[in-house]
Amino acid sequence: MSVADRSIDPRIIESAKEEFLQKGFLDASLQEICKNAGVTTGALYKRFKGKEELLCAL
């Protein structure tokens, strides 16, 4: 099993923070978070189980 590259975590977290602030938790899009962070949805899910876990990481 490969280990996730944690160097992209700050980009994901910053993108998520902006998305949550702009749209709120319910309307925030993981696809938009990934797009703005420059990562794939697979890369996000390798690090976080979903929106809830991503919100807790903020």
Total count of domains within the chain: 1
Q: What is the CATH number of the domain that holds 42?
A: 1.10.10.60
Per-residue pLDDT of the chain in tens (58 residues, 90 and over written 9): 455 566 778 999 999 999 999 999 999 999 999 999 999 999 999 999 999 999 999 9
Give this prediction's pTM: 0.85
Amino acid at 42: G
In a domain, 28, yes or no: yes
Q: Which domain holds residue 32?
A: 7-56
Query: 48 with 12: CB under 8 angstroms?
Result: yes
Cα–Cα distance for residue pair 21/52, rounded to 1 Å: 15
CA 31 to chain centre: 9
In a domain, 22, yes or no: yes
Q: Which residues contact 38 (CB under 8 A, 6 or more apart)?
A: 11
In a domain, 2, yes or no: no
